[in-house]
Amino acid sequence: MATLDPANASRGMAESLPKAALPQSSQPAPVSRAWLWHFALAWFGFWLLVMLPGQFMVAKISATVSPENKVGVASFLIAETAIVILLSVPVIGVLCDRTSSRFARRRSWVLAGFATAAVPFALVGLQTNWVIIALLVAVVALGEAAVLVALSAMIADQVPVNRASLRHAITLPRPSGYPGYYWAMASRVLIHAGNLVGTTYLFFFLSDVLGVKNPDDSLLILILIYLVACGFTSWLGGVLSDRWRRRRIFIALAAGLQGAAALLLAAMPTWDASMVAAVLLGLGFGMFLSVDQALVTDLLPNPETRGRDLGLVNTAQHIPIAPIVGWLVLSVAGYRSLYLVAAVIMLAGGLAVYRIKNVR
């Protein structure tokens, strides 16, 4: 994972704040290498929590409980997850900021979030009623929201953040004043949505298009390939991004790799192509995870509202674009069209990052 760059962070706000206006506390105290590794592990764990139920498990459950309407049920569950996160993040953010304990204030919320998600996550696969499944998935999403808020706050604390900002800053940064911040947000939303479009319906692609004998085992193989590739570039991308002091090229490369994976599935719907696509998708998403958070942190507009602004970006990525796009495309076309759309969305996210002018 790429580390935070205070110099870039100050550049992100320089358009509106004179140097004299920057408080002395805006320069963070150095964090240890151990802290960075522990944080990277927690962040990767969060994305596993998002990916496994949201992008793989939901499709299997939907096919089991409602085979006639599996695409609709899967799309509903993914949209439900996104809506729960969007609604709960502001409330959890305030509670997290107001937690009185100075020791492990953020970590306690991370642990609570993982615990909240783990129990229903373990139970959801045993259910046959889709209403109960929907309730359990909502609780998993609530746990995801707690982890997202706490990890985002930990990043903002290291930048550092005015801890009162989430309570007092109620207006959004002006797009005209901070175009880089909003382009970074757009890039993240598009790349995340494209990845979700490409992976949510993968189980159905394996069973309905490729006709594999055992889609469960085939999906497991692709997940393992995806995770290994993702873990490799989540380390390598952060190291190289810090060494070369570059952010945009890594985000663009991440989008290109994922777009290539989707195009490959659209052009060659075969099992061999699926394994290659899993490698490309994992390499791209791992690189995206390792660099994107540092890019956004570099562009936070104001030292007094960093917590709010970082939370806004992390929340925006959960706008339910993927389930809406997936349901619409599969209702009128097929999986080749779905993967073409996914590729276009991710490549658009890669292009958006080059609209950012004040970060290399």
Per-residue pLDDT tens for 85-112?
888 887 887 788 777 765 567 778 888 8
pLDDT at 210: 94
Assess contact for 47 and 210: CB atoms under 8 A: no
CATH number of this structure's domain 32-164+176-355: 1.20.1250.20
Tokens of 359: 């970060």
- Tell me what the mean pLDDT of segment 66-83 comes to: 89
Residue holding tokens 């707690």?
146
Q: Is the dihedral of CA 157, 289, 197, 67 positive or negative?
A: negative
The 10s digit of each residue's pLDDT in 240-257 is 877 877 888 889 999 999
Assess contact for 22 and 11: CB atoms under 8 A: no
The 10s digit of each residue's pLDDT in 188-214 is 899 999 998 888 899 999 999 999 999
Burial (Cβ within 10 Å: 0-12, 13-18, ≥19) of residue 101: exposed
Higher per-residue pLDDT: 99 or 135: 135
State the amino acid at position 81 in one-letter form.
T
- Closest by CA position to 144, among listed 107, 122, 105, 118: 118
Separation between Cα atoms, residue 297 and residue 310, nearest integer Å = 7
- Tell me what the mean pLDDT of segment 123-137 comes to: 88
Q: Where are the domains of the chain?
A: 32-164+176-355
Assess contact for 47 and 289: CB atoms under 8 A: yes
Separation between Cα atoms, residue 279 and residue 285, nearest integer Å = 10
Percentage of residues of the chain with pLDDT beyond 90: 26
Low-confidence winner among 160-164, 220-224, 267-271 (lowest mean pLDDT): 160-164
Tokens of 259: 């777009």
- Tell me what the mean pLDDT of segment 271-294 comes to: 90
Q: Please state the pTM of the whole predicted model.
A: 0.75
- Closest by CA position to 76, among listed 149, 137, 125: 137
